[in-house]
């Protein structure tokens, strides 16, 4: 009987993926603690695509997506540099800078980032517009148990958060694939048409844990009279 009770308690405590269709994460204040941790069982990536939509009025640096492993806290990091008005993809031991984007405040933006270890090429898609393809890191996969965080930038595995790099705003439709998405699939994602959901992270079946003040709310819908 005691064993059965413990089993029921463990089952109740176990996280189960949730369908967040029509929902968003709201990060309502800057902090060095509040974040969302996303879980995946995959530990070897020869290629990656990450897409998300975000809305913020921040006028400082902030992290948009942070994936760390035991060997590298910036295995796959998407970061906005306010000083240079650039998006910085950090992958493995390298990074590059993409400027010239109209990163308007108080506006929803769709951002997709792709990388392939065979070629070492990275490419950014900002609201459906592709960047140039640039070399960043090749010859080795992203390996190890990943810690994936929204709302903060990891300076150590699962921590080392800096309040001045925290994200404040809303984020939704986070997907991650272990391959490079085609341009047509990316456009389908941006235009909110039918697309293949992420096979690493899937917003429609997301395993996540919230720490601190982060809310799950209905997505904002603009009503036209």
pLDDT, tens digit, for every residue of 108-120? Answer: 999 999 999 999 9
pLDDT per residue, tens digit, the chain (225 aa), is 444 443 333 333 446 899 999 999 999 999 999 999 999 999 999 999 999 999 999 999 999 999 999 999 999 999 999 999 999 999 998 999 999 999 999 999 999 999 999 999 999 999 999 999 999 999 999 999 999 999 999 999 999 999 999 999 999 999 999 999 999 999 999 999 999 999 999 999 999 999 999 999 999 776 765
Minimal CA–CA distance to 180: which of 46, 38, 66, 41? Answer: 46
> Is 12 among the domain residues?
no
In a domain, 166, yes or no: yes
Residue 4 in domain? no
Which among 4, 157, 148 has a CA at the least distance from the CA of 70? 157
Q: Per the domain annotation, does 69 fall within a domain?
A: yes
Residue 9 is assigned to a structural domain of this protein: no
Look at residue 30 and tell me if it is in a domain: yes
Cα angle 72-76-78, degrees, rounded to a multiple of 5: 130
Q: Based on the structure, what is the number of domains in the chain?
A: 1
Q: Is position 15 within any domain?
A: no
- Residue 52: domain span: 23-218
The 3-state secondary structure of the chain reads CHHHHHHHHHHHHCCCCECCCCEEEEECCCCCCCEEEECCCCCEECEEEEEEEEECCCCCCEEEEEEEECCEEEEEEEEEECCCCEEEEEECCEECCEECCCCCCCCCEEEEEEEECCCCEEEEEECCEECCCEECCCCCCEECCCEEEECCCCCECCECCCHHHCCCEEEEEEEEECCCCCHHHHHHHHCCCCCCCCCCECHHHECEEEECCCEEEECCCCCCC
176: CATH: 2.60.120.200
Predicted pLDDT at 225 = 55
CB neighbours of 60 closer than 8 A, spacing ≥ 6? 82, 164
Confidence at residue 220, expressed as pLDDT on a 0 to 100 scale: 78
> For the whole model, what pTM was predicted?
0.91
In a domain, 10, yes or no: no
pLDDT of residue 15: 63
């Amino acid at each position: 009987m005691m064993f059965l009770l413990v089993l029921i308690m463990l089952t109740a405590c176990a996280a189960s993926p949730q369908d967040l269709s029509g929902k968003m994460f709201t990060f309502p204040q800057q902090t060095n603690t509040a974040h969302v941790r996303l879980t995946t069982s995959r530990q070897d990536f020869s290629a990656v695509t990450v897409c998300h939509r975000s809305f913020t009025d921040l006028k400082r640096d902030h992290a948009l997506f942070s994936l760390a492993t035991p060997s590298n806290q910036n295995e796959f990091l998407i970061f906005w540099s306010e000083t240079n008005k650039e998006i910085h993809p950090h992958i493995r031991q390298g990074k590059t800078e993409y400027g010239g984007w109209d990163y308007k405040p108080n506006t929803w933006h769709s951002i997709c980032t792709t990388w392939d270890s065979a070629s070492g090429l990275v490419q950014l898609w900002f609201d459906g517009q592709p960047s140039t393809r640039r070399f960043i890191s090749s010859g080795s996969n992203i390996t190890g148990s990943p810690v994936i965080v929204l709302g903060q930038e990891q300076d150590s595995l699962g921590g080392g958060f800096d309040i001045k790099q925290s994200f404040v705003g809303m984020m939704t439709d986070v997907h991650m694939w272990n391959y490079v998405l085609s341009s047509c699939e990316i456009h389908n994602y941006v235009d909110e048409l039918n697309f293949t959901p992420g096979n690493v992270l899937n917003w429609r079946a997301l395993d996540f844990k919230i720490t601190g003040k982060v809310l799950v709310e209905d997505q904002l819908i603009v009503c036209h009279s």
